[in-house]
Structure 1
Amino acid sequence: MQTTSRTGLSDRSLLALAFLNFFLADARDGLGPFLDGFLATQGWSPMTLGIVATLGGVLGMVATPLFGAWVDASHRKRTLIIVPVVLVNAAALWTLASPGNASVFGGQSATAIVGAIVGPALMGLTLGLVGEKRFSHQVARNEFWNHLGNVASLAGIYAATVAFGLNGIIGLMVLTAVAAVVATLAIDPKKINHDVARGLAHDDGAPGPSGYSVLVSTKGLILLAVTLMIFHFGNAPISRLIAQDFSIQLGTPFRTTAVTTGVSQLAMIVMALAAPFLIRRFGLASIFLIGLLALPVRGAIVGSFTNFSVIFPVQILDGIGAGLIGIATPVAVERILAGTGRFNVGLAAVMTVQGVGASLSNVVAGWLTDMGGYGLAYWVHGGVAAFAVAAFVIGRESIAPPHNGDMDATAGR
């Protein structure tokens, strides 16, 4: 007999949501972190790879607020996940089969555009399923399953590469994409409250504003976006540079990237498990501060040492910083925009602005690497975090407002 949670949400949908996050870890990004290592061994320079990443970031940045408004208005949120998954994986297979200018620039551009809808769609679907009271707790659960899926995917890619080479990578990509589609379809569409999904229990019927108008009219959202823009300018290129650096040194792009990314994902799993307690005990602002402070330490370590073993503390710090920021951001947006009915478009607006930082950083990182080597790029981008910490300290009360019953770890048990 099928049981039901306190929210009236069937166990089937909760289980399907867990599986979706597990398989989406691999299916939403195509080649994801493996792209740089793979192309670096094909002769692509750091500067060119930076241009590829920047182009994708700019296209995704332009598309994201439009897609956020689309998610707010749409009653087909499952479709807004399924279609991008199919298209992103098709583009990745094209790149693997023929890594030329057309497939890399064209495929990654398409990936950036259609992939930009997955984040807002998944957050909207989650909010619509569990409601505002359980949203922050469910975000942590989503992150746990997502990072666990990343670790499983990385282990699978490592094994598939050893056993079958490139064919193993292709087979694994197809398998995870199909599994993500099946998991999405298993979520009961009748259990998604589309008013709650946009952050409004009772829709006022007004047309949703653009991402930019939401952004410029809410102080907390502006400060959050600026802080994350600076953070991602510093943080975004470091893992890419590490993948390029050690893939070239060791000549094993897929296995090297699997190890480096796997370490950070394991740390993110720990953070996802710890986040409910940390936010309940110390508050949302503390989570942001810990995440922001991890970056300068990370840049200093990787900038000081060149042996492969350095990736372990460096990527653990990545898991702490990016893991906590990834959980705290949608929770902060939901609190800032509670009752406005503009959650998804507001989250998309924040993602757009942070995308500005991430996109610009790729070209800067490529230029710094060409000019002074990987070490210079690590030091500069790690040092940028000091400005993100300062921006957060100035606006912390608006960025991370307190909430009664912060992350009740017993909710829904």
Structure 2
Amino acid sequence: MVVRMLPSGRSIAALAVLNFFLADARDGLGPFLDAFLATNGWSAVTLGAIATVGGLVGLLVTPLCGALVDGSTWKRALVGGPVILVTVAALVTLAFPQAAVVWIGQIGTAVVGAVIGPALAGLTLGLVGEAMFSRQIARNEFWNHTGNVASLLAVYVIVGLYGQPGIVGLMILTGIGALAAVTAIDPKHIDHQVARGLAHDKGAPGPSGFKVLLETRGLVLLGLIMMAFHFANAPMSRLIAQQFSIELGTPFRTTAIITGVAQLSMIAMAALTPFAIRRFGLGAVMLVALCALPLRGLLAGSFTGFWVVYPVQFLDGVGAGLLGIVTPVAAERLLSGTGRFNVGFAAVMMLQGVGASLSNVVAGWLTAVGGYGLSHQTGAGIALIAIAVFLVFRNQVIVPKPAEGNP
């Protein structure tokens, strides 16, 4: 039997700092890429093609990245390495915005960035174990969303003071912060058996085959529910920002408000979720998250005053914010003991990414046909499908922890 070292306060604090800096460091230029390239003469069609190809490539490699994390004992390197590559690719793109550089950089960013999600989940599980996983995932999300808000404020101030050189400095700073944090995590505190979903004292007979992913019906259902949810939810914030930016003529400030409200709501959800899971169960929390989306779509599609941004984006924090915590916890429970947690979680991430990617085309078409309201209300209808599937198959999707009984 292997005796597992409990993580020190330093490792847990470093994990919090890592999540704070990863809010900016994992995406490189992220949402600023389109604006930067557009000012350098790139067309909207080309920018859309880059985003689509990069996104699809990232989705295709995500399960492979999960398998890599399952089999690797270099969890810290699988977070730190992509941070370095993503930051370098973004800096090169800023310096040389030529076609070959941009295409290679963005596809490369999508590939290496796909490693970070499964690697971070595995690193967290290996540090704290199954019993504390849901609480630590909530803390991760709290610090990640806090980092998003801080990054948003920093960009707003730094761009105004220093322009593009300020963005370069901010990217370097966040990259260094993320690397320093991941280095501060003591590798001796990472149990790699637990990190892949095996108990540390049950190494034999070893991990299950990959077919366990298809045979675990609850995991497939979880992936389909997440795909439907993100298909309905993903385009809403972007379309709301477009709508009010055009009406008000202040794209940056409008987008900042819309994004900021959602991120602040997600911070609140991350703080409340551990208590809610303990008090009401994982299934009840997932149901609340799913139910927030049809209400969000109904509000966004029925009212046109700017005031609606606040409840609509608050509900984004409730829905997407809660699911960002609940999804990896549900996947971990479903795959506990199989040794395939990271690849299974990556497969769920791929399915929700497919939903989010396909939704942009459909939402754009619906907006062209019937306006923003039609797109939002259609999203609300699709969200009801996700709720119905969850209610019918809830007992297969949600596996209770042995110590807590039925949720």
Q: Specify if TM > 0.5.
A: yes
Alignment CA distance shift 1:280-1:254 (3 Å):
same
76-85 vs 351-360, which moves further? 351-360
Per-residue deviation at 1:57?
Answer: 2.7
Q: Output aligned runs, 1:131-280, within 5 Å.
A: 131-201=129-199, 202-204=202-204, 206=206, 209-210=209-210, 213-248=211-246, 253-280=251-278
Contact map agreement 2:26 2:83 (CA 8 A) in 1: yes
Contact map agreement 1:56 1:112 (CA 8 A) in 2: yes
Residue aligning to 1:317: 315
Residue aligning to 1:411: none
Q: Could you give the per-residue CA deviations for residues 324-343 of structure 1, whole angstroms, max 9, x where no partner exists? A: 00100011011111111111
Question: Residues of 2 paired with 1:317 and 1:113: CA distance?
Answer: 31
Per-residue deviation at 1:256?
Answer: 3.7
Residue aligning to 1:93: 91
Alignment CA distance shift 1:169-1:304 (3 Å):
farther
Contact map agreement 1:37 1:253 (CA 8 A) in 2: no
Query: Which ranges of structure 1 fall in alignment gaps of 5 or more residues?
Result: 1-5, 408-413
305-314 vs 132-141, which moves further? 305-314
270-279 vs 308-317, which moves further? 308-317
Question: Residues of 2 paired with 1:255 and 1:168: CA distance?
Answer: 19
Candidates 355, 360, 363, aligned match of 2:361: 363
Per-residue deviation at 1:368?
Answer: 3.0
Q: Could you give the per-residue CA deviations for residues 345-366 of structure 1, whole angstroms, max 9, x where no partner exists? A: 1111111222221121122223
Partner AA of 1:200 in structure 2: L
Candidates 280, 290, 293, aligned match of 1:292: 290
Question: Residues of 1 paired with 2:89 and 2:365: CA distance?
Answer: 27
193-202 vs 257-266, which moves further? 257-266
Q: Matched residue pairs, number? A: 400
99-108 vs 337-346, which moves further? 99-108
Alignment CA distance shift 1:149-1:215 (3 Å):
same
Question: Residues of 1 paired with 2:214 and 2:381: CA distance?
Answer: 28
Alignment CA distance shift 1:257-1:96 (3 Å):
farther
So what's the TM-score if we normalise by structure 2?
A: 0.89
Per-residue deviation at 1:308?
Answer: 3.9
157-166 vs 226-235, which moves further? 157-166
Alignment CA distance shift 1:406-1:16 (3 Å):
farther
Query: Which ranges of structure 2 fall in alignment gaps of 5 or more residues?
Result: none
Question: Residues of 2 paired with 1:287 and 1:358: CA distance?
Answer: 22
Candidates 47, 62, 77, aligned match of 1:64: 62
Alignment CA distance shift 1:309-1:55 (3 Å):
farther
386-395 vs 31-40, which moves further? 31-40
Alignment CA distance shift 1:199-1:137 (3 Å):
same
Q: Could you give the per-residue CA deviations for residues 22-69 of structure 1, whole angstroms, max 9, x where no partner exists? A: 111111122334445666788878776654443233212210111111
Question: Residues of 2 paired with 1:382 and 1:161: CA distance?
Answer: 37
Q: Output aligned runs, 1:105-120, within 5 Å.
A: 105-120=103-118
Partner AA of 2:116 in structure 1: V
Question: Residues of 2 paired with 1:43 and 1:251: CA distance?
Answer: 22
115-124 vs 373-382, which moves further? 373-382
Partner AA of 1:108 in structure 2: Q
So what's the TM-score if we normalise by structure 1?
A: 0.88
Alignment CA distance shift 1:91-1:367 (3 Å):
farther
236-245 vs 265-274, which moves further? 236-245
Question: Residues of 1 paired with 2:74 and 2:238: CA distance?
Answer: 34
Q: Could you give the per-residue CA deviations for residues 359-402 of structure 1, whole angstroms, max 9, x where no partner exists? A: 21122223333444434333322331111111111111111122
17-26 vs 85-94, which moves further? 85-94
Per-residue deviation at 1:119?
Answer: 0.5
Query: Relative contact order: is structure 1 or structure 2 higher (C-alpha 8 Å, sep ≥ 6)?
Result: 1
Per-residue deviation at 1:147?
Answer: 1.1
Q: Output aligned runs, 1:380-395, within 5 Å.
A: 380-395=378-393
Per-residue deviation at 1:161?
Answer: 2.2
Describe the SS at the equivalent of 1:131. helix
